[in-house]
Amino acid sequence: MDLIRIYAGESGPQSVAVAQRSILRRVPPDEFTVPPRVQDGIRRIFGEALSADEVVRRILADVRQRGDAAVCEWTARIDGVDLAACGLGIEVARAEWEAARRQIAPELVAALELAAERIRAFHARQPISSWIDVRMGGTLGQMVRPLQRVGLYVPGGTAPLPSSLLMAAIPARVAGVEEIVATTPPRRTDGHISPVILAAAAIAGVDRVFAIGGAQAIGALAYGTATVPRVDKICGPGNLFVTLAKRQVFGLVGIDGLPGPTETLIIADDAADAENVAADLLAQAEHDVMASAILLTPSRALAERVQAAVAAQFARLDRQEIMSVSLAERSGIIVVRDVAEALRLANEYAPEHLCLDVRDPWRYLDQVRNAGGVFLGGISCEVLGDYVSGPSHIMPTAGTARFASPQNVADFVKITSVVGLNEEQASRLAPAAARIAEAEELTAHAAAARRRAVAAMASDSDKGEGM
């Protein structure tokens, strides 16, 4: 059986229509099928079968009530790490950060620093500023203020992801956030955080790091505990339980979004390098069993070359168990009529990553309406965007690119409107405000507006008498 299917034609079990009903179909987070292994874990931990949403609700309620004690207990029960038994606390000591930076290879430190500088330079160009205009009948404007404290969730389940920490922390620092705290799951082996994540935290300017993950970490950030400070906003991707926890605490704190499994959609024509396209599909598939790696191409010959290249390269790679599930269940190669149809399907799908591996990709850029990021040409591969290109790789998933943006400086500031009308403008505007208020049957609003008109007219009368 082929590792990745080819969908082609108008009918049949592997047609384009079937692909639209399966791998191109969007499923909301609360409808994701929980894998049997995870269901077994829920029954073992809770003693009964529960939905993922109920699991999260119970954990959050416990953290809200018992704070650090609940956080430690759930970390032991779910992550298999007893922080106290390991001689560790919830917070990672600064000395451990410094040791981690010395521990990892100098070449890796240099790579992280290069990535950090490019991320910082890109986000420093985003124009978000305060303004005041005194020419609009008094003074009108806006004040842009950074958030006071932000919590970053850094995935660390199947592999440490220092890049995700850089991609969230650096835009926050550019925005001027006063305090940045990060949470990431401890390693099952020793309860410590991966040294590369701690090194990234130091490079990105994070203030504090906590060795907790999952829904209990989101609860600690949202409610605050004796150790973990309550934050104003929670950002960063995570697994299904993290995403559902963010949704449940939204309103008490801000969130950046509800990221689903990562996804890449490649549009390639017959000029594309099949080996490169296969490498990009496999790079996406190794993230997670829920990841989606999809190719749209008008070339059946390219589709078959890519399918063969995926099989050949797969045999030489690690994480085969994860990739095989992603490729079989959530990925595929779809043979379309032409690039125009591929773009139509891509805009409907609204992918996190859209790669235009076609002749003259700039020709098609204006036709892209919905995508978290667009990668132009086979040389601008999405993997470079994951690490060192500059824009944050935390991008909208699950079709939310229809209305959402990649993580950026705007995620870490808030706008306060400024209104300072003069008497003349207040007098002119008050009657209109009063009429609208009366139409809404809000007589107190109308009366308050009319008082401003009367006050302004009296002031004008006083000025006239003194002349």
User: Structural domain boundaries of the chain?
Assistant: 6-29+260-402, 32-129+137-257, 422-465
Query: What residues have CB less than 8 Å from 269, skipping those under 6 apart?
Result: 297, 298, 299, 302, 339, 357, 358, 359
Beta strands 233-235; 208-210: pairing state: unpaired
**Beta carbons within 10 angstroms of residue 298's beta carbon:** 19
Same fold, 6-29+260-402 and 32-129+137-257: yes
- What CATH topology corresponds to 6-29+260-402? Rossmann fold (3.40.50)
Q: How far does CA 210 lie from the centroid of its chain? A: 20
pLDDT value at residue 464: 55
Give kind and range of the element (H or E) at residue 182. Answer: strand 179-183
pLDDT value at residue 438: 96
pLDDT value at residue 459: 57
Query: Which CATH superfamily includes the segment(s) 32-129+137-257?
Result: Nitrogenase molybdenum iron protein domain (3.40.50.1980)
pLDDT value at residue 138: 79
Give me the helix-helix angle, 52-66 and 240-249, nearest 10°: 60
pLDDT value at residue 87: 65
pLDDT value at residue 149: 98
Q: Give the residue numbers annotated as catalytic, written as ranges.
A: 352-353
Closest to 351 (Cα-Cα) out of 266, 424, 285: 266
Segment-wise mean pLDDT, segments of 10 residues, the chain, 467 residues: 90 88 81 77 90 94 96 92 80 90 94 98 92 79 96 84 95 97 90 92 96 96 97 92 94 92 95 98 92 97 97 96 94 97 97 97 97 96 96 94 96 94 87 95 95 66 53
